[in-house]
Chains A and B, each alone.
Chain A
């Protein structure tokens, strides 16, 4: 049967109409949601149900949930939405690790996603610890997981007693590296300090698992370098005041007085900021190293 030519015209017009309407719809501002309300949906949150439904494809189902977790974390972190919600991050990681309990990287990266303070991460170190402890129940010999728990206590919770306990526990495990035992001892004796922090981040930076984690570690190491730099410059500023009786008005004033050879900069090359009223040396607000870790112990 021959198709009427008008039918083709109608078909093309309708096709153009649906594409056009979709373009108009895409240009509309998204519908508002009440503050604090989440639009994230987890259709099946029970690891048991998912495990049964996946039949013999549990590992593949775990991969899909892991990709969802990474996309959820990355998408939320990069979004400009002031109402960022990481509320399904832990359930996604929980399902992933229930489907594939040997998926080590989920414990390792997942704990970073969870512990990172809001809005850069979920700001839930408690959930990070819960995830790592879940991994340890399956893999009690994995020193990396115990060290991860210690790290969360050390860096994000500043609970050095527990951190030292976990570093010691990790050191007792098979194939644990030599640096864990001294780290535990120093943490227990002195609390946190930059040298210990540097050891931890250097080990993470050395790890070959993922570029983003190495970048994160490099960033933290640069922050520690910036803190060291601020301490050094602050001492010079105090020397200036000791000699002249007043705070320097600018770096150039200190250079003219022979205290500095050049404008001091942070590891990214941005000059430090000097407050002429208080003599306080800080990072420039434009530096990518902001914000520096709060209450970071001194050397």
Chain B
């Protein structure tokens, strides 16, 4: 466990050195400028749009970090030949891989936490600046704590994307890993269509295959409750709990697969 911790901290320090956290500045500027401009562009609904924009930005920035850093985690060490030095140390391959994964998750957690703080600060400002009659027409306060439910599920989605990126990076090039990770993420959003495919095609075999794929491909649409929380629709804790269980189980599955592939890989 200590070894995993050391590797994770090093990954985090490396991401700081690589100026990954600069995206936080971009996020803050985007949100602040948007909060000013939206009022000029639309007829009311500034807070709703800032809520949507903030949640989408947290997700997009996190995805970019998860995919583009995740795919290079193992590959960089192989490319620089530093993998030989690392694996010669008293460290098992699975500890190395899990350390890398945990380091990137730590980077993501800090990123998402800071973005969430900036997001709530902008919303609090908008709430303070809005007249009482306008606030009364909102379905929920600007700084509605329920938004955290969506952010928690975004974080879980990012952890799963990171695991998938790490899995692909154990056996393929960064370019291919990026393509495959993105493809899995996109297909994961079409999961409902795969399930309903049987109703539109005559072939029972094709329908059965589509249904099988539906159960196997990660269901990323399950992590998306952004629309519901912004409109103050109920997202029960039972749903969050089940989705969290599904997310962690899938992450475990992907990481075990990554460990098996990485353990069998020959670096000669």
Contacts and interface: CB of A to CB of B under 8 A. Distances in A.
Interface stretch (A51-59, A82-90, A171-179): A51-59
Interface in A95-145: 100, 102-103, 105, 109
Contacts of A103: 48, 231
A63 B53 contact: yes
Contacts, number: 71
Nearest to A210: B44
A191 B224 CA distance: 48
Given A60-B53, A209-B137, A105 B186 contact: no
A67 B42 contact: yes
- Interface on chain A toward B: helix, strand, loop, or mixed SS? helix
A105 B48 CA distance: 10
Interface string A55-90: 111111011001100110000000000000000000
A55 B189 contact: yes
Given A71-B41, A209-B137, A210-B44, A56 B131 contact: no
A66 B131 contact: no
Nearest to A100: B227
Contact of A63 (B48, B221, B223, B233): B48
Interface residues of B, number: 33
Contacts of B134: 208-209
Nearest to B130: A208
A207 B137 CA distance: 8
Contacts of B224: 56
Interface in B24-50: 38, 41-45, 48-49
Contacts of A55: 186, 189
B151 interface: no
A258 to B, nearest CB: 46
B44 A63 contact: no
B162 interface: no
B137 A59 contact: no
Nearest to B50: A63
B177 interface: no
Contact of A208 (B41, B136, B193, B230): B136
A43 interface: no
B203 interface: no
Contacts of B196: none
B82 to A, nearest CB: 35
Contacts of A56: 59, 189, 220-221, 223-224, 226
A100 B227 CA distance: 7
B43 A102 contact: no
Nearest to A112: B43
B85 interface: no
Interface string B164-184: 000000000000000000000
Contact residue range for chain A? 20 to 34
B34 to A, nearest CB: 10
A104 to B, nearest CB: 8
Contact of B52 (A59, A70, A105, A213): A59
A276 B221 CA distance: 73
Nearest to B51: A59
Nearest to B131: A208
A102 B190 contact: no
A102 B233 contact: yes
Nearest to B225: A56
B231 A102 contact: yes
A292 to B, nearest CB: 25
Given A57-B56, A208-B133, A209-B134, A66 B45 contact: yes
Contacts of A58: 227
Nearest to B190: A52
Contact of B43 (A57, A62, A109, A207): A109
A212 interface: yes
A209 B137 CA distance: 6
Interface string A184-224: 00000000000000000000000111111100000000000
A111 B48 CA distance: 20
Contacts of B49: 63, 66-67
Contacts of A100: 227, 231
15 contacts: A55-B186, A56-B223, A56-B224, A62-B52, A63-B45, A63-B48, A66-B42, A67-B41, A100-B227, A103-B231, A208-B131, A208-B134, A208-B137, A210-B44, A211-B44
Interface of A: 52, 55-60, 62-63, 66-67, 70-71, 100, 102-103, 105, 109, 207-213
